[in-house]
Amino acid sequence: MKQHLDLSKIGAFSLVPANSNTEADALVVGLFPNSAFQALPTSLESEEYNMEHPQRGKCVIFNNRTFESHTNQSERRGTDLDVENLYSRFKDLGFDTVIHQDFKVKQMLLELDRVGNEDHSQSDCFVCCILTHGDEGNIFGTDGKFPVDRVFKPFRGDVCPSLVGKPKLFFIQACRGIHLDDGVPMVVDTVDGPGQVFRIPTHADFLACFSTVPGLQRLFQRRRTGGGG
């Protein structure tokens, strides 16, 4: 699409109303020679993610087995077997894999924030596995619970730009019980001129897998794992 405009005097032009809040209206195109905008690691036309970065990415595993008495949560016997299997599989897939055992709420949140602040520009993707207890809308640290949505916040496009346009995979093994956003600008390189800017949702490229549906407890085979949520 060619526009005959004096581009030296324009920062951006919207294809839709600027105050629109719907994902369908989130597309914005313009010129932004600004380092704050991230270049997409994959072309918009591509049906596959770019998995040719120097590193596969980080896999963070939280394994909460034993809980403080005031939480009224039982020990998750057998969860260690699940963690061993996850660790082995993601290591085999080339991930930099780390296990955090029996973390309190503050520890979990601090670690999630820390990882979200890391530079993932050389990585293909990011994986987080959480094995713990939960209830509707919340998951547990060993000393209490917090909203499950808080897990995803540090990896949103407007918070963690080095993961924009890359898969962010979350596997949550727990019982359980999600707001349109304003989007984050992305630069798409062009051959014959400055990049166009497209606005994509800040929660784009997220995959969250839960072991049950909202409002229901997780069923598990005690003989094999015993790690009920």
Distance (Å, rounded) from C-alpha 189 to C-alpha 197?
Answer: 9
Residue 59 annotated in active site:
no
pLDDT of residue 79 exceeding 80, the answer is yes
pTM: 0.69
pLDDT of residue 132 exceeding 60, the answer is yes
Distance (Å, rounded) from C-alpha 11 to C-alpha 182?
Answer: 19
Distance (Å, rounded) from C-alpha 38 to C-alpha 161?
Answer: 7
Q: What is the pLDDT of residue 87?
A: 98
Distance (Å, rounded) from C-alpha 138 to C-alpha 19?
Answer: 32
Q: What is the pLDDT of residue 206?
A: 86
How large is the average pLDDT for residues 100-115? 99
Q: Which residue in 138, 69, 142 sits closest to 101, CA to CA?
A: 142
Share of the chain above pLDDT 90, in %: 52
- Provide the token pair at 178: 């999600």
Distance (Å, rounded) from C-alpha 153 to C-alpha 140?
Answer: 17
118 confidence band (pLDDT: 50, 70, 90): very high
> pLDDT tens digit string along 157-166?
999 999 999 9
Phi and psi at residue 139, to the nearest 5°: -130, 160
- Provide the token pair at 219: 């069923």
Contact yes or no for 227/85 (Cβ under 8 A): no
> pLDDT tens digit string along 194-215?
445 555 566 678 888 987 655 5
> pLDDT tens digit string along 157-191?
999 999 999 999 999 998 754 333 445 555 444 44
In 10 A of CB 46, how many CB atoms? Answer: 10
**List 128, 160, 175, 203, catalytic entry:** 175
What's the whole-number average pLDDT of the chain? 75
Contact yes or no for 170/130 (Cβ under 8 A): yes
How large is the average pLDDT for residues 118-131? 98
* CA 76 from centre of chain: 25
pLDDT of residue 33 exceeding 90, the answer is no
Q: In what order do the strands lie in the sheet with 55-63?
A: 96-101, 55-63, 123-131, 168-173, 206-210
- Provide the token pair at 224: 């094999």
Q: Spell out the alpha helix ranges (H) of the chain.
A: 79-92, 105-116, 149-152
Contact yes or no for 28/197 (Cβ under 8 A): yes
- Which domains does the chain show, CATH number per domain? 55-181+203-210 (3.40.50.1460)
Contact yes or no for 83/99 (Cβ under 8 A): yes
Identify the residue with better confidence: 191 or 143.
143
137 confidence band (pLDDT: 50, 70, 90): confident
pLDDT of residue 12 exceeding 50, the answer is no
pLDDT of residue 153 exceeding 60, the answer is yes
How large is the average pLDDT for residues 17-33? 36
Q: Which residue in 72, 73, 76 sits closest to 64, CA to CA?
A: 76
Distance (Å, rounded) from C-alpha 138 to C-alpha 130?
Answer: 12
**List 125, 133, 160, 203, catalytic entry:** 133
Residue 128 annotated in active site:
no
pLDDT of residue 107 exceeding 80, the answer is yes
